[in-house]
Amino acid sequence: MSISQVIADFITCGIQSGGWMEMDRIYLQNRVLGMIGEAALETYVVQPVDVLPIELMDVLVAKAKENQVIGESLAETEILEGELMDLLTPPPSVVNAFFAQHYEKSPEQATDYFFDLCQKNDYIKTRAIAKNIVFPIETEYGALDITINLSKPEKDPKEIAAQKNMTAVNYPKCMLCMENEGYKGRMNYPARTNHRLVRMNLDGEAWGFQYSPYAYYNEHSIILSEEHRPMKISRQTFERLTTIVEVLPHYFVGSNADLPIVGGSILSHDHYQAGKYQFAMERAPIETSFTIPGFDAVTAGIVKWPMSVIRLQSANKKALVDASEYILTKWQNYSAPELSIVAFSKDGMPHHTVTPIARRQGDLFEIDLVLRDNNVSEEHPDGIFHPHQDVQHIKKENIGLIEVMGLAVLPPRLEKELVEVEQYVLGEENAIAEYHLPWANQMKECYTFTAENVQEIVQQEVGLIFARVLEDAGVFKRDAVGQAGFMAFINSL
């Protein structure tokens, strides 16, 4: 196929996306010509297109490199890819209008439209996401999801070195700011030309709804404040979360905690994460029900989960928000020193917060409140309720919202490291990392390994370590002393 035909087919995809009309074809084709360094358009036909737009984009990017419009660096490639796919993406006003039209028929139809658009225009990196290693593991808490994250491409060392000499630019302020919409990108900042936001009004404030480029679960989305301000868990958090699941009843929505160690990776910008996915924690049953005096419209219970979770349900939004705020306030001021649970440092620094998750269950609103504590100690300098050192060879990063709900996001280093572990336990030549040796030797004592069963056993053991990671992050442990402590806190309500 000639490059002219590729351009014509690519623009056909752009017109079909709804942002352009056939009258715009010549203009758009000339735009692409200039982007890839071609001087003239030769004979082509307007025809039905039976290949994915991303495959046409690959051809166009390859031609641009051949014409030396761009070099081979990852940053230059991604910037051109974003600019090309922007032509397949309607302007923000049109995307929002289409979303509203679909929403009139159903909220699910609206998100289906937006999700499909963000996949087709390569904002959601479906090819990269497909590289992730994903496997479920059965535990006493149900099936946990294990992901070794391979989706984000690694930069070339030359690019990293070049970034050190670049002039510092404070725009956009962070990856979650609305100013990212349509931003070209630069060597040290990702291209966002084809990025779009759906505007939302939450309690009189402007917020944006977008999908995550490197999704960890189905329809992984982010709802972010227009104002660049720090994360803060408060009554307003619960009000917004319940409003979001009222607007998008087929989605869950949750917030990372708002303190270091127990918070997520971006605490500088107020945002929530949502999606169309059922995590293991949602499937986990209530093991102890209780009532909270003064909150008759709310049912409550302790969830059977490695972390310390209180589940609230009510058909009354306000009652649910009131109860959530009440428990948050109680927890922020609660201490049990004998369990290393301390609400404030001597200088008054707070250590307690919650990771809240909201969803709909039929006519009921449901909120899970995961109790968090970010204290450190000499024995556990990374965090008393953080993955302890004996499991950090698998997971040492913060336990954020996604992990809390039962989906492990493990570092890419494990892709190769686990292969070396498998070779080690099989007695084959290997380059096992020293920090995996105690774990590997323990497995050798427990299992008889063969070439057929080694991967399954190692993955199962990784999953059990993740369950341990969550137990480490639980403030009230799953033993008799810890559960008695949990009930003492419940009784304080």
Give the confidence band of 156 by pLDDT, cuts at 50, 70, 90. low
Whether 160 has a pLDDT exceeding 80, the answer reads: no
- Which pair of structure tokens corresponds to residue 398? 């913060």
Alpha-carbon span 68 to 75, nearest angstrom:
15
Q: Give me the percent of the chain exceeding a pLDDT of 90.
A: 94
Q: Which run of H or E residues covers position 372?
A: strand 364-373
Sequence-distant contacts of 187-190: CB under 8 A, at least 24 apart: 187/73, 187/75, 187/159, 187/162, 187/163, 188/75, 188/163, 190/78
**Residue 207 and residue 200: Cα distance in Å, rounded?**
5
> By mean pLDDT, which of 42-46, 155-159, 291-295, 420-424 is the weakest?
155-159
Is residue 145 within 8 Å of residue 407, measured between CB atoms?
Answer: yes
- Interhelix angle 3-16/25-36, rounded to 10 degrees, is 130
Question: Which pLDDT does position 167 carry in this prediction?
Answer: 75
pTM of the complete model beyond 0.75: yes
Which run of H or E residues covers position 246?
helix 235-247
Output the average pLDDT for the chain.
Answer: 96
pLDDT in tens, 342-381: 999 999 999 999 999 999 999 999 999 999 999 999 999 9
CA 290-294-298 angle, 5° bins: 50
% of the chain exceeding 70 in pLDDT: 97
Question: How far is it, in rounded angstroms, from Cα 104 to Cα 101?
Answer: 5
Q: How far is it, in rounded angstroms, from Cα 277 to Cα 328?
A: 26
Strand partners for 289: 301
Q: Which of 34-38, 262-266, 463-467 has the lowest mean pLDDT?
A: 262-266
Res 51 pLDDT > 90:
yes
**485 neighbors 476 (Cβ within 8 angstroms):** yes
**Which is nearest to 176 in space by CA: 201, 160, 163, 195?**
195
Please write the tens of the pLDDT for every residue from 290-314.
Answer: 999 999 999 999 999 999 999 999 9
* In the predicted structure, residue 159 carries a pLDDT above the cut 90: no
- Beta-sheet pairing, 309-314 with 286-290: unpaired
456 C-beta neighbours (distance < 10 Å), count: 10
Give residue 155's pLDDT band: very low, low, confident or very high (50, 70, 90): low
pLDDT of 381-417, one tens digit each?
999 999 999 999 999 999 999 999 999 999 999 999 9
Going by C-beta distance under 8 Å and a sequence separation of 6 or more, which residues neighbour residue 421?
430, 432, 436, 439, 440, 458
pLDDT band at 179 (very low <50, low <70, confident <90, very high): very high
In what helix (H) or strand (E) does residue 330 lie, and over which residues does it extend? helix 317-332
Decide: helix, strand or coil at residue 359. strand
Q: pLDDT value at position 263? A: 84
Contacts of residue 294, Cβ cutoff 8 Å, sequence gap at least 6: none
- β-bridge pairing 221-225 and 271-275: antiparallel
Report the C-alpha dihedral over residues 58, 53, 20, 3, rounded to 10 degrees.
Answer: 50
Tokens representing 482 are 């810890």
Q: Which residue has the tokens 């556990």?
A: 380
Q: What is the rounded CA–CA span in Å between residue 180 and residue 70?
A: 22
